[in-house]
Every structure is written in structure tokens, then in C-alpha cells.
Amino acid sequence: MNSIYILVFSLLWVIVAYFWYGNNVIKKKLIDPVDENPTPSHAMNDGVDFYPAPSIVLFGHHFSSIAGAGPIVGPITAVVFFGWGPAAIWLLVAGVFIGAVHDYLSLMISVRHQGVSIPDNAEKYVSKRAKFLFLVFVWLTIVLVISVFANMATVSLIKKAELVIPTFALIPLAMLFGVINKNRWLPLWANTIIAIAGLIFLIWLGFKFPITVGTEKTAYQIWFTLLMIYGVVASVTPVWILLQPRDYISSWVLIIGITLAFIGIIVVHPDMNAPFIIEETFKDSAQGPLVPFLFIIIACGAVSGFHSIIASGTTSKQLDKEKDAMFIGFGGMLMETIIGIVCVIIAGAALTWGTGDGQLQNIFKSGGPLTVYGNGFGRLTYFIFNSEVGPVIGVTIVNVFIMTTLDTSVRLARFLTNEMVGDKLPAKLQNKYFYTVVAIIPAFLLGITDSWASVWPLFGAANQLVAALVFIILTAYLYSKNKPIRYTLWATVFMLAMTIFALCWMIWKYFVTAPNYFLGSVAVVLVVLAVLMIIEGCKKIGSAKKA
């Protein structure tokens, strides 16, 4: 099949889904937004965390934060192990009916509860025990995310020295954009054009003056430490001066990059040469059997529990009007779905299937999915850039997004620490600086010692378990408001089944076939957590029925 057909069908699919399923079903039947309701950004405006943003700016923050490298890594990995067919189908079906619903409802429930996170809402709509279990689990997950994304950005800076200048110089550029935007010295469109032009100049500057420091070990320690310091600063700085503008500018990077990829697919229109489905993977592969691991490997672009933490953690505190949530939450997820489809095409068509030099499996094995993306992007855009520049531009786009997820995650960890232990601490310690330090220290230690690698194999299942547990809370919320629960209940059951199935498979693997008792024990804990949350959710619905 020619890749251009897949791209056109996918674009039409998400456009129809946005207006039909999003606007006419989910928004009207489940939420019914009212713009007269003051959002937390207005009612609780503190100029630091709660601050209203124009819808396009907030879309940039939200989209940049939820995307990161996720919609690139997952789909490309799935193509390599399962074929392009299952990857594309799961992205298109789940992106609309599971992921976009998950993100939009998470955002709106938080907006209608003073901007508190989804785990904090678990107490009201499920139970106090559910809140505690969920908060601890999500906090640990976020700490791991901070460590891993800082690691990924650090490795990129070492391998591609051209990225150093645009990565760090984007910070003052974003701050300048934020000051101009807040004081309205320029219209948003003019400020945006200047910022994008500035970023393009920084990328060019990075190519002209690549920066390297010492040995690879020394460079890792320096860049990783600087990135963690940046995360701390970004966490406590007012959102309008750094978080909003940096993420907004970064979103344009990916929009431009994806537009170039669209042009490349239209001009080059390569045929899909990867298998539609690799039948052997129904039984097993290096990643596990297709069912359930397809649904674990592809998270971003389909459904990701991390999105709910972004939506209810930072986005809900910056939403200007309730009507903006559909464009930001539902629309942001569908745009990520399209990125996933582009990556399926890059892996399945732009690169040739095989294990030889320059072929998909060989590039994947030697450099991972981000290298696959860079090489595939370069081949699609060879008529615009030369063979050396194209792959570097592709990697630069990814690296910018990794940074947006990093700074947002540190802020989220601060919020979660506050919700988890804030009122239990002495008054002197109840501040944003202490909450940030509590989260950043374990993340720093995990990253600087490479300890994160020991638990990373379970992250995919843990992330999807977050989504499943969030659906329990969403369903309980809808039930309490006498809203139809069929739009979330089936997703709850499906996601719980797939994640528990995957975790049980891992328990068998790590205790029997490939012993790793630490990972096996963590998998057992995750299954127990899921079962406890299911019990708490059933109790809540049961008591509501009796009432």
C-alpha cells in the first residue's frame, strides 16, 4: 500500500472524529462546558502556577508536554516487532475513542475542582485510600519520567553536539517571548514569527558551532546536572515567563517538522515495505506477544496515563475558558495520533525492511527508535535538505520536545508532593522550593547513577496502568453526575485487562523464564495496586446504587 493513502485517510479520520465524536458526543453529553464558569486560572490567579493563557499558547504547552518522544518511540518500536498494520489501527482507534476522551475528561474534571490533579480527585469520587495509593504511584512514576527524559536529552546533547546551543539558548528566547506576550508589546502572531525565526537562527548557530565538553562521562555529568538545575528553575518560575512560552515555541518546531514530513510523504510517497503484520508475534517476540504488548508499547498517540497528569496538573491551571478544553485536550491528543501515524510511515515505508546496512532493523538495533526517526525523516526530506542535514534536523525536533516534557514533569512532581504530604509538614517546609527538592533529588540520583535502567522495562505497563486507573476515576465521576458511563466504562475494562495481562506475563518472565526478582516484585506490586483500585471503584459505585 502507498503511504500517501494512509496519511490522507488518517487526517480525514481525526478531523471527522474531532467534530463528530468530540464536539457532538463527548463534550455535549458528558461535560457541557459553560464559559460563564470562572476557570481556576481566573478564580485562583497567583501569577505563578494559576495564570490564564490564550488557547493557542496553552495548546502549545499542553501538546509539547504530552508529546515528548512518546509518539515517536512507541509506533516505531511497534512497527519493528509487530508490523505497521496493528500499529496504525491501534493509533487511529484508541486515539479517538480512548486517548482523546481520557485527556479531555481529565482536564475538565480538574478545571471544575479548582485545578487539583486527577489523583487528588480520587478521594472525592472513589475513596481516601484510592487517593493515597494513586498519588504515591503517580509520584514515583513522575520521578522516573524526570530522570529518564533528562537522560535522553543528555545523550542527545553528547551524540549531537549541534543541539547544545539551540537547547539552552531557547530558554532566554522563551523568556523574552513571555515578557513581550504578557505586556502585549506585540501582537501574538508577530511575537510568534520573531520567536520561530530566533529558534531557526539558534539551530543554524548550533550547526556552525557544535559544543563538546571533556570525555563522554564528564559530558554526561555536566549536561545532566545542568538539565536538572533547569528543571528546578522551570518548576518554580511563573508559567507565563518560561513554561508557557518555551512549550509554545517548541510546539511550532514539531508542527513545522511534521509539515515537512507531510510534504516528503506527498512528494516521495513511498510504498509500505514493512509487513502489515508479523504473525509470529501473536505468540512472542523480544517485546512480548502482540496481545497485550501492542497496547503497552504504543502509549502516546493512542492513550497514555501521563497525559492525565499533564492535563490536570498544569493545563487545567492555565485554561482561560471551558470551551477551550476541547481544542486543547481532545485536539491535542488527535494531533499526537497523527504524529504516530507519520512515524509508522517513516519506519514502514521511508526505510527499507531488513537487517542490512541502512535498513530498518539494523538502524533500530544500533541507534534505537529516535535514530530511525532521524534517518527516515532525512530520506523523506532529501529533496529539501542534503543527506547529512535532514537526519540532524529530525533529531533536533525530537530533542526540543524531550526538554518540554522534562520541565513540565518537575513542576508536576512539585504539585504531587504538595498534594501528598503538604499539610503534614511543618509550616516552614510548606513551599514550592522544598516540594521541588523532594522530587528532584531521587530523580537526580536515579539518572546520574543509571539506576533508572533497572526499572525502566516496567514503565510502559506502569504508564498504561495509570490510564486504566484514571478511567476508574472518570467513570466514578460520570456516575456520580448521572452522566452516561458507557463512553468510559468499556475503556476502563479494556485498559485494566491489557495492563494486568501484560504485568502477569512479566511476573512469569521475571520469576520463571528470565529471573529478575526485583522487576518481578515490582510487577506484583503494580497488579496488587490495580486490584485494590478496582475494589475501591466497585465499592463506590455499589454504595451510590444503594443510595
pLDDT digits (tens, 9 = 90+) for 430-484: 788 888 888 899 989 988 888 877 777 788 888 899 899 899 889 988 988 889 9
For the chain, give every domain's residue range. 3-34+54-104+115-546
Integer distance in angstroms from the first to the last C-alpha of the chain? 56
Confidence at residue 283, expressed as pLDDT on a 0 to 100 scale: 67
Q: Higher confidence at residue 545 or residue 7? A: 7
Task: Read off the amino acid at residue 537.
Answer: G
**Residues 201-230: what's their mean pLDDT?**
89
Q: How confident is the model at residue 378 (pLDDT cuts 50, 70, 90)?
A: confident
In the predicted model, what is the mean pLDDT of the chain? 87
Helical residues (DSSP H) of 243-304, grouped into ranges:
243-268, 290-297
What is the pLDDT averaged over residues 268-291?
A: 82
**238 touches 176 (CB < 8 A):** no
Q: State pLDDT tens for residues 485-511.
A: 999 999 999 999 999 999 999 999 899
Taking 90 as the threshold, does the pLDDT of residue 393 lie above it?
A: no
Nearest to 27 by CA among 473, 331, 310, 464: 331
Question: What confidence tens digit (pLDDT) does each residue in 80-98 have?
Answer: 999 999 999 999 999 999 9
| Per-residue model confidence (pLDDT) at position 191 | 92
d(CA 326, CA 334): 11
Classified as helix, coil or strand, 474 is helix
Estimate the crossing angle of helix 118-125 against helix 100-111, to 10 degrees.
70
| Axis crossing angle, helix 55-67 with helix 70-82, rounded to the nearest 10 | 40
Please, which pLDDT band fits residue 347 given cuts at 50, 70 and 90?
very high
Confidence of residue 128 (pLDDT cuts 50, 70, 90): confident
* Residue 545 reports pLDDT greater than 60: no
Q: Is the pLDDT of residue 533 over 90?
A: no
Handedness of CA 263, 268, 271, 275 (dihedral sign): negative
Higher pLDDT, 234 or 426: 234
Query: Model confidence over 348-373: pLDDT tens digits?
Result: 998 888 888 888 989 888 878 888 88
Residues 6+ apart with CB under 8 A from 312: 106, 107, 109, 110, 115, 116, 117, 118, 121
Summarize pLDDT for 236-257 with one digit per residue, the tens: 899 888 888 988 888 888 888 8
Averaged pLDDT for residues 38-50:
90
pLDDT for the residue numbered 543: 63
| CA count, 13 A, side-chain hemisphere, 96 | 20
For residue 204, name the pLDDT band (cuts at 50, 70, 90): confident
Q: How confident is the model at residue 542 (pLDDT cuts 50, 70, 90)?
A: low
- Half-sphere exposure of residue 188, counting CA atoms within 13 Å on the CB side? 10
Four-CA torsion 217, 221, 222, 226, nearest 10 degrees: 150
pLDDT for position 121? 81
Write down the pLDDT at residue 161. 84
pLDDT at 176 over 90: yes
Judge whether 4 and 265 are in contact, CB under 8 Å. yes
**What pLDDT does residue 192 have?**
92
Distance CA 51, CA 100 (A): 24
**What percentage of the chain has pLDDT greater than the value 70?**
96
Asked if 402 contacts 153 with a C-beta cutoff of 8 angstroms, the reply is yes
CATH classification for the domain delimited by 3-34+54-104+115-546, as one of 1.20.1740.10, 1.20.1260.10, 3.40.1500.10, 3.40.50.2300: 1.20.1740.10
- Average pLDDT (406-416) is 85
pLDDT band at 285 (very low <50, low <70, confident <90, very high): low
Average pLDDT over residues 247-268: 87
Q: Which residue is associated with the grid cell 487528588?
A: 120
Label residue 320 by pLDDT band (50, 70, 90): very high
Of residues 287 and 380, more confidence is placed in 380
CA 316 – CA 356 distance, rounded (Å): 48
Q: Span 386-391, mean pLDDT?
A: 74
Cα 181 to chain centroid, rounded: 26
- Residue bearing cell 548550533: 206
Which of 138, 128, 107, 256 has its CA nearest to residue 192? 256
* Cβ neighbours around 37 below 10 Å, total: 12
Rounded Cα–Cα distance for residues 347 and 391 (Å): 14
